[in-house]
Chains A and B, each alone.
Chain A
């Protein structure tokens, strides 16, 4: 086992050093797709999370619990449901989205929505209520006050974004069902690892896994750097 892992590590370094074109292609694609998915998910999840975290409405607990449950959604299950929806014979089949990067972006965005919503809501809840109260006392409107609280929770939001990006780039089920792992079109790091493992290419699979870990580490380091500068 140690032998295979070492072989994989060496293969990873070799592929990177040589600038293997296929590796670069799938790595860039994985980054692009998961990055865009994270952006997309943030667009609707941060407002939603804020509403839940700061709002005072009936059933708030229920809604929060709902998203907490969705946190554990298996990627294969989501991938299957989305496949049925976007399949040519499905309700959204006319969009012809299946087997395209866009389909994966949408799928991953949906997958990570519960993460962002839950984390943002939790963060906002834990902010000292005096911040909001102070803003209100000083004449801010409700929404302005909420924005102020949001401003105090940048750390938590950054964490939510980073965590959801990690989930997106490392998931397999959605990418496989929505993308089809088509060479040159929707092949990603995770789907290639799955394919090559099935082919018995152990060293290559481990190498790709190393590359994936490297990417995640780099992105997290960068986000940590950004967080400290804010």
Chain B
């Protein structure tokens, strides 16, 4: 009497499959793995990463140094949270108030303002709120008025991102109470990224606040037909900064390489990349280099705007938070 333990062919086939998958899998991952263990984790915001400028910066930087750049692109809130937990070595974000807290709570040091552009209020072709060319504050008043009259809709990011923070600041500066606004019918919260938010606004033929990078791309690809209604002004300035994680708070943080990368970002080469990115595709640069603007006197108005929005105690990085990177602040 013979009991077959298993059907004859199952075992060898199973073993063959296991061996193939195991060796194939491990081999693939090994061959793809980058040589060397020197990596720098940069937590950044989606509105910066999605424009693609950081891929260009990454290629340039990695061509010159043995450092491997790892960009983690999430919302600003999460980017900062990553850094606080020690999962990033530095952050590249655009939320000055959150950045200030980051410095003051001891998580970050050596902040440098890298680049700037402007947020815009975009809206439907018919501009039902009639805000074209208005000053930002006046435009917000008009939006609230028309919104409450049921004539227009506003879509908010609603996700605690840098853009959302700016939006909240704008409403507050214009004298509105956010808690009240959020309950009103015409104020809709998307709770998602910039691209999605634009698409939602497009669907509703609504107004929204957007960064130029995402907007230009979506507009050019025909994904939205909303147009810029209010495009510049002190209140709409969007400032991007880099902050290294404080190695006193997070001993495992790769501070040395973070400093090297920040030095690259403020160098002529890094700044040049920000200055030229987007011109080929959109006819206009998506960013403006900030370092020379703040250093020279060529455009005191814009420099003044940056100082008002993004300086803390009169400086981009108060002296108490410059440990290890004093050379950045010639």
Contacts and interface: CB of A to CB of B under 8 A. Distances in A.
Contacts of B221: 200-202
A182 B70 contact: yes
Contacts of A25: 32
Interface string A17-29: 0000000010011
Nearest to B28: A32
Interface in B63-98: 70-73, 85-87
Contact of B13 (A35, A90, A197, A229): A229
Interface stretch (A69-77, A121-129, A148-156): A148-156
Nearest to B215: A200
Contacts of B70: 99, 180, 182, 185
A39 interface: yes
Interface stretch (B15-23, B157-165, B296-304): B15-23
A36 B18 CA distance: 9
Contacts of B28: 28-29, 31-32
Measured as residues with beta carbon below 8 angstroms from the partner, the interface class of chain B is: 35 or more
Given A99-B70, A202-B223, A89 B5 contact: no
Kindly name the residue among A101, A180, A229 whose own CB sees the greatest number of chain B CB atoms within 10 A: A180
B25 A182 contact: no
Nearest to A93: B86
A199 B199 CA distance: 12
B72 A182 contact: yes
Contact of A229 (B3, B9, B195): B9
How would you classify the secondary structure of chain A's contact residues: helix, strand, loop or mixed? Answer: helix
Contact of B5 (A28, A147, A202): A147
Contacts of A201: 221
A36 B85 contact: no
3 closest residue pairs by CB, A with B? A151-B6, A88-B86, A32-B28
11 contacts: A33-B29, A38-B21, A87-B85, A87-B87, A90-B85, A98-B87, A151-B5, A151-B7, A151-B10, A185-B34, A199-B52
Interface of A: 25, 28-29, 31-33, 35-36, 38-39, 87-90, 93, 98-99, 101, 135, 138, 140, 144, 147-148, 150-151, 154, 180-185, 195, 197-202, 226, 229-230
